[in-house]
Amino acid sequence: MIRFDGRTAIVTGAGNGLGRSHALLLAERGANVVVNDLGGSVAGAGASLSAAQSVVEEINDKGGHAMAHGADVTDADQVADMVDQTIKAFGSVDILVNNAGILRDKSFAKMDIADFALVLNVHLMGSVTCTKAVWDHMKERNYGRIAMTSSSSGIYGNFGQANYGAAKMGLVGLMNVLSIEGKKNGIRVNTLSPTAATRMTEGLLPQAALDLMTVDSVSAGLAYLVSEDAPERTILCAGAGGYAATRIYETPGIYLPPDEQTPEAIADNFDRILDPVDQDMLTDGSGQTLKFVAAAAKHFGVSLG
């Protein structure tokens, strides 16, 4: 039984959707939970603590322990205050779930640089800021579990999401480095690549598909990634009850002697350089979602039309 008794978790963007589901599950399994949410729209406009407070009330009503904090994850001072308040209330920060994010989708040709930068700032720099705020604390205690939230849109690509995709793939690189740097101090860093029916996916898929893409199925994966016996440096993909791991491979490649180290020789040998063997090369992020959804639909006898 995976439990979190005596542990304290900060979950960002936890007022709705996946973040709310993560917070509820961690609390149900015994964790003290800080429900962080700025309370803005999917596009990042506005602010309200009501969503976070609602989740806290839900946890507390079930006998759990939670508090709300409305820190903007891109504001280092606000995040520092959140961490300070967490330690004062619960004594430590053992788990950080970087889940907060926004969407501002447009084709790259039509996208404003400001919208590109804002999405990067919330997803990537927001995760950096929150992780930095707990890093030394976790190092001193020789324990930490950190989850980044990536996306198939970053790993494989989706039209109209250059900003979102760049941010989400950046989090994989952040995980890779922090996994190395945190290892000696018992800090394990992993990445969740979820696909679920949330405010961010409304209207993008048929309702029959969305009905299969429960947030609960994704949160089960998240809970494992931040558990005592969590893996390290793993990208866990989760959606509609399907679970897989994205792994970055490098082919054995070839060697060219100095007199053949030319663009033409590389072109002539490109098939050997790629050498796919058994690798499954997805062409876009929808491939992962469709795989999980198709398997789930077959199991439940649901027609996706």
Q: How confident is the model at residue 16 (pLDDT cuts 50, 70, 90)?
A: very high
**In CATH, what number is assigned to the domain containing residue 208?**
3.40.50.720
| Catalytic position from the list 143, 156, 164, 224 | 164
Residue 183 lies in a domain: yes
The string of pLDDT tens digits covering residues 199-219 is 656 666 788 888 999 999 999
Residue 291 lies in a domain: no
Contact assessment for residue 229 and residue 186, using Cβ atoms and an 8 Å cutoff: no
The string of pLDDT tens digits covering residues 114-156 is 999 999 999 999 999 999 999 999 999 999 999 999 999 999 9
Residue 152 in tokens: 């198939």
Please give the full DSSP string across 51-98, using - where no structure is assigned.
Answer: HHHHHHHHHHHTT-EEEEE---TT-HHHHHHHHHHHHHHHS---EEE-
Contact assessment for residue 85 and residue 67, using Cβ atoms and an 8 Å cutoff: yes
Greatest distance between any 2 Cα atoms in the chain: 73
The string of pLDDT tens digits covering residues 255-290 is 877 899 899 998 999 998 888 765 554 545 665 666
Q: Is 69 left (phi over 0), alpha (psi -120 to 50) or beta?
A: beta
The number of distinct structural domains making up the chain is 1
Catalytic annotation present for 164 = yes
Q: Which domain holds residue 215?
A: 8-246
Residue 97 lies in a domain: yes
Residue 214 lies in a domain: yes
Distance CA 265, CA 51 (A): 59
Residue 116 lies in a domain: yes
Counts of helices then strands in the chain (DSSP H, E): 12, 8
- Contact residues for 209 (Cβ-Cβ < 8 A; gap 6+): 240, 293, 297, 304
Q: What pLDDT is stored for residue 281 in this prediction?
A: 41
Residue 101 lies in a domain: yes
Residue 282 lies in a domain: no
Residue 302 lies in a domain: no
